[in-house]
Chains A and B, each alone.
Chain A
Amino acid sequence: MDALQVKKLSVAYEEKVVLKNVNLTIPVGHLTGIIGPNGAGKSTLIKAILNQLPNKTGTVHILERPLNPKDHTVGYVPQRNAVDWDFPTNALDVVLMGRYGHIGMIKKPSTKDKQIALNCLKDVGMEAYADRSIGQLSGGQQQRVFLARALAQEAEVYFMDEPFVGVDAATERTIIAILKDLKAKGKSVFVVHHDLQTASDYFDWMILLNQTITASGPTEQTFTEDNLQEAYGGKLFFMDQTKSNKSFN
């Protein structure tokens, strides 16, 4: 079974083409890293997969079916800066939003939904902050609340846009442990990630992206110097140079 199948996907914002002819086939049960430089189109790829962009061509299948929110197969962690953290609500309430898809329109969350939300907060180590206003959480805590909300979706396939941004080392370890646990349960997880140092530890599958797919496959086959150079357009090499220049001074 394939978790994700993308065929001939192209996306343009107004005139500008951002993703060109993307083809992907990724089997279930992997923890997949989506890697590429700023502006490569990583967030755009996720949004296109989740059917949020009007100007796209090509097809997307999740668990071999076209995406239908009513299936509740997909969990989503948007980039943290996508929302206003001064919104008057608390941590538990945000996690509860992960249940809305299951609850359906008009109906109210049940005690069972609240229990699930509370358990998910516990999973990310945030149960002590359930009543805390989200504006009074640190960046890392906010990120964990977002992760808890995705867990509350009880999905099969997860898409996470930079869940490690602005978190400390301990939180990063908590989050990666949760992601590996999801994988152990047979779920498929896609994570946009920026840190090349840790990438090969975290992920057993990789998508290297820069407008088009540079490489996609098991980490040991795809995470190579050549592929990275191609995805980052030689910028990596350039950065290494400036580093070594500095050490000379």
Chain B
Amino acid sequence: MNEFWVLLTGSLVGITCGLTGVFLILRKTAMIADAISHTVLFGIVVAFMITQSLSGFWMLLGAAIAGLLTTFLVQVLQSGGLQEDAAIGVVFTSLFALGVLFITLFAGNVHLDVEHVLMGEIAFVPWDTWDILGFSMPKAVWMLLFVLLLNVLFLVFFYKEIKLSTFDPVFALSIGLPILAMHYSYMTLVSLTTVAAFDSVGAVLVVAMLIGPAATAYLMSKSVSGMIIWSMTFGVTAAITGYYLAKLWNTSIAGMMAAMIGALFMIVFLFKPHDGWTWKLFKRMKLKDTNVHV
């Protein structure tokens, strides 16, 4: 049973991050995920300082606000003339440092250590349960299901809007789409996804799950909907194969899942039909052959 919960948690992380990550890749703001995954720490600590509780709700709220703050500050610095990557770097390191500082100053005796935030511990997931409506499931599963639902609802309602404002914001603005509101809503979702996932798998795997599967899917998709399906598939595949390999070799589960994400990317990158690296090499050799014969 414990194995089931760990696999379910991993798969939910794969699905949710895979879904959210698609528009990070398409909007070319993958690195904002890295920033948010670190600055949510700041939000969580501040939420703890105010409420003195570590309940899931306050954590999600704190994280959402920290994510929005990150997005907003990056936007402000950017419109002040700074490049996006520089803006992200400045905001992310300062907020993360503040978070770490606050933890050591005000939350030293609480279970909120940096190590745990960065690496997580998915193997402990089954023991921390919530009872809701008579169901008892791990807290991580509840949070991930809730955030997955939000993500799905967002896409059900605003699929064409987020797609157009990603592809052609200038045109989107000309037909009256509220592109800034779309941007902030989406970044809020990224923050919620991040915090729901990182409690179980840690910030590092969250970033890997947000970016890796979507980047892999990008290599082989001809439509946004196709990319979403592939991205979620890769996320789940990496979670499940990562879990069993970690068990087999007795290593870190989160670490192995992250490694599998990288492996999947390389496989697709090298062997993708038509314009994969190997395929191109093969075609070039065939072309040479025919040249010789002629």
Contact = CB atoms under 8 A, between A and B. Distances in A.
Interface in B147-182: 157-158, 160-161, 163-164, 166-168, 170-171, 173-177
B157 A101 contact: no
Interface string A111-127: 00000000000000000
A74 interface: yes
A133 B173 contact: no
Interface stretch (B96-104, B216-224, B242-250, B281-289): B216-224
A10 B164 CA distance: 29
Interface string B40-83: 00000000000000000000000000000000000000000100
Interface stretch (A21-29, A79-87, A163-171): A79-87
Contacts of A103: 160
B24 to A, nearest CB: 14
B141 interface: no
A88 B221 contact: yes
Interface string A124-166: 0000000001000000000000000100010000000000000
Contact count band on B = 20 to 34
A93 B159 CA distance: 13
A227 interface: no
Contacts of A97: 160, 164, 167-168, 171
Contact of A76 (B26, B161, B174, B222): B174
A93 B175 contact: no
Given A78-B171, A83-B168, A90 B157 contact: no
Given A83-B168, A97-B164, A70 B176 contact: yes
Contacts of B158: 105-106
A105 B226 CA distance: 22
B223 A52 contact: no
A82 to B, nearest CB: 5
Contact of B160 (A47, A78, A108, A133): A108
Contact of A90 (B160, B173, B222, B227): B222
Given A88-B226, A90-B222, A100 B167 contact: no
B221 A74 contact: no
Nearest to A134: B167
A97 B166 CA distance: 12
Contacts of B26: 87-88
A69 B152 CA distance: 28
Chain B interface main SS type: helix
B164 A82 contact: no
Given A87-B26, A105-B161, A106-B158, A133 B174 contact: no
Contacts of B218: 88
A88 B171 contact: no
B223 A90 contact: yes
A109 interface: yes
Contacts of B174: 50, 52, 69, 74, 76
Contacts of B223: 88-90, 93
Nearest to A133: B222
Nearest to A43: B170
A62 to B, nearest CB: 12
B18 to A, nearest CB: 15
A78 B174 CA distance: 10
A108 B160 CA distance: 8
Contacts of A69: 174-176
Interface-central residue, B164, B168, B175, by most chain A CB under 10 Å: B175
A76 B81 CA distance: 27
A82 B170 contact: yes
A196 to B, nearest CB: 27
Contacts of A133: 222
Contacts of A14: 81
Interface string A9-35: 000001000000000000000000000
Contacts of A74: 174
B224 A78 contact: no
Interface-central residue, B168, B221, B227, by most chain A CB under 10 Å: B168
Contact of B224 (A70, A76, A89, A153): A89
Contact of A106 (B157, B168, B221): B157
A78 B164 CA distance: 14
23 contacts: A50-B174, A52-B173, A52-B174, A68-B176, A69-B174, A76-B174, A76-B175, A78-B171, A84-B28, A87-B167, A88-B26, A88-B221, A88-B222, A94-B167, A97-B160, A97-B164, A100-B160, A101-B175, A103-B160, A105-B158, A106-B157, A149-B171, A153-B175
Given A88-B26, A89-B222, 15 more contacts: A14-B81, A50-B174, A68-B176, A76-B175, A83-B168, A88-B222, A89-B167, A90-B222, A93-B223, A97-B171, A100-B175, A101-B175, A106-B157, A108-B160, A109-B160
